[in-house]
Structure 1
Amino acid sequence: MTISVRKSRPANNNFNKIWRKYEDNIIPPIVGILGFLLVWQLASVIGLIKLPPPTDLITNERTRVYLMYPFFNRGGTDVGLFWQAMASLQRVLIGYSLAAIVGISLGILVGLNVFLNKALDPLFQFLRTVPPLAWVPLALAALQQNQPAALFVIFITAVWPILINTAVGVQQIPQDYINVRKVLRLSPNKFFFKILIPSALPYIFTGLRIAIGLAWLAIIAAEIVMSGIVGIGFFIWDSYQNNYISDIILALIYIGAIGLILDRFMAWLQTLIVRD
């Protein structure tokens, strides 16, 4: 018994050190979430709101199936929430990748060319204010298919913050760097990779981080009005049509969790690549 107690002490000490280090960041969110759920439960029970309580995620038999078995696949659109979310996420990654390629390339071009910037900036500022849902009927009319239309809506929503932030980053390159290029007579390739990209990278990542959140929001909105496809947005609309409110709440948890993961991943990637 004495030996086992001695062996467990280092592990306990490590846990205590970790807990003391992060407890100020762990306890407040837990208290806030539990408090929110408690208020929601009470408001629903006393009839203050018409939504089902959070406990309905477990007590409702249909919702419990989606909660406990996210990987089931019965074919067609009758699949678990994991596959619904992955279908939406796949569309986001394709549309977002296209937006990143076009946005960064065009942003660099506009940032380097004063005439192009003055000519195109009003158009960019105008188009970026159009909400994602407004593009859906136009995309469906032009492309005639749900999948390409969804990808277009993601692309057209995500491209603007990437493009505009990239252009601003290029325009903010210090004049001293430009003078160094002239003095050393750097080739276009060296200027691009040694000066332009490193200087604009913080702005590019700011645009990429904003765009990933907008892309995720756009696909959910687009899928809601696109019938007959596997996707968490369509799942929400179909559940609403059949009055499965608990299913909608569970889907919203998936959406929020995935959105948070995407944002944190981009923030981590930015700290990894962009050096102060």
Structure 2
Amino acid sequence: MTLKHLLSRVVPPFMGLALLVGIWSLVSITSTNNFPNPTDTFWQAVDVFSNPFYSNGPNDQGVGWNVWSSLKRVALGFGLAALVGIPLGFLIGRFEFLSRMFNPLISLLRPVSPLAWLPIGLLVFKGANPAAIWTIFICSIWPMVINTAVGVQRVPQDYMNVARVLNLSEWKIVSKILFPAVLPYMLTGVRLAVGTAWLVIVAAEMLTGGVGIGFWVWDEWNNLNVKNIIIAIFVIGIVGLVLEYALIKLATAFTFEEVQS
């Protein structure tokens, strides 16, 4: 890798971060509400991350435990959504009758705000934790259903004609023809869904309480600790970035050009 290429990869991100810190510093200087500056927030972050897994009771735990609790909820809700959404997307894309049946329902329910589903979860499941998982499930299922169905519908008709001539079973059609062709669309849906799930859990935990990064933000606001709120914002962004990067690497592990691009 040449020096010019290295600089072209490294310098722009650092310039973006410098711009962010500069604007942040300007806001803290001109603010009349004692808005924390980058230096004070940095040293607060050092203190926060010096012991991220302390536990002083159910409502006083380190940032590490809060992130871990949120990730567990996301994994469970997202996993359930994948188990339901991907097969449902295959069925909707494969059979026109099911497509006509489910498309109005998806169009009706998909635009609903994530937090509108939270009271329904609290009513049905009688608990904050399952209600949060339900909210993640119902909001992250739509990208996987829609993208998978679109991928199935865009499979070239020639492939299906060959399958018909060879008299392949439905399982053979799905496993040998549809799945490889639909995989890029499916992974796109998964990437969109996990981003949605991570956004939703932060908002849901603010309302339901308990251990979680969203509750940690709300608790710090009640304590008027703005520095910890800013730290939490960066933690949420970094975790979301890591999740996105992990799914991109998963996608590029396959040899499909559509996925790699």
TM-score by length of 2: 0.93
SS at match of 1:190: helix
Does structure 1 residue 41 correspond to structure 2 residue 41?
no
Mapped contact 1:57–1:67 kept (Cα < 8 A): no
| Alpha-carbon distance in structure 2 between the residues aligned to 1:83 and 1:18 | 42
- Once the two structures are superposed, the pairs formed by residues 139-218 of structure 1 within 5 Å of their partners are 139-218=121-200
Residue of structure 1 aligned with 2:105, choices 89, 110, 123: 123
Partner of 1:100: 82
Match of 2:236 in 1: 255
Q: CA deviation at 1:122?
A: 1.1
Task: Say if 2:11 is the partner of 1:30.
Answer: no
Instruction: Give yes or no for contact 1:223–1:234 (8 Å, CA) kept in 2.
Output: yes
Q: Output the amino acid matched with 1:253.
A: F
Matches of 2:154 and 2:76 in 1, distance apart? 30
Q: Offset of 1:59 from its aligned partner?
A: 4.9
In the TM superposition, what is the alpha-carbon distance from 1:77 to its structure 2 partner?
2.6
3-state SS of 1:55 partner: helix
**Structure 1 unmatched runs, 5+:** 1-16
Asked whether the 8 Å contact 1:67–1:250 carries over to 2, the reply is no
Displacement of 1:136 in angstroms is 1.1
Shift of 1:187: 2.2
* Cα distance per residue 1:46-77 (max 9 Å; x no partner): 337763212221455xx653133222222313
Could you tell me which residue of structure 1 aligns to residue 64 of structure 2? Answer: 82
Name the CA distance, whole Å, in 1 between partners of 2:104 and 2:228: 43
> Who is 2:37 aligned against?
53
Residues 1:248 and 1:19: Cα distance change in structure 2 (over 3 Å): farther
CA–CA distance in 2 between the matches of 1:144 and 1:94? 18
Larger radius of gyration between Structure 1 and Structure 2: 1
Deviation at 1:18? 6.7
Shift of 1:20: 4.6
Partner SS, residue 37 of structure 1: helix
Q: Is 93-102 or 67-76 further displaced after alignment? A: 67-76
- Larger mean CA deviation between 206-215 and 123-132 belongs to 123-132
2:182, 2:95 → 1: CA distance? 15
Structure 1: distance between partners of 2:141 and 2:2: 41
Deviation above 6 Å: which 4+ runs of structure 1? Answer: none
AA partner of residue 160 (structure 2): I
Structure-2 separation of matches of 1:72 and 1:122: 49
- Contact 1:202–1:274 (8 Å) recurs in 2: no
| Whole-angstrom distance in 1 between the partners of 2:25 and 2:101 | 55
Q: Say whether residues 1:230 and 2:211 are aligned partners.
A: yes
Preserved CA contact (<8 Å) 1:43 1:49 = no
Task: Give, in whole Å, the separation in 1 of the partners of 2:34 and 2:167.
Answer: 70
Which range moves more in the overlay, 73-82 or 196-205? Answer: 73-82
* Long gaps (5+) in structure 2: none
The residue aligned with 1:7 is none
Cα-Cα RMSD: 1.7
Distance 2:14 2:193 in 1: 29
**1:99 counterpart letter in structure 2:** A
Counterpart CA distance in 2 for 1:67 and 1:19 is: 34
Separation in 2, partners of 1:41, 1:55: 9
Is the Cα contact below 8 Å between 1:107 and 1:163 reproduced in 2? yes
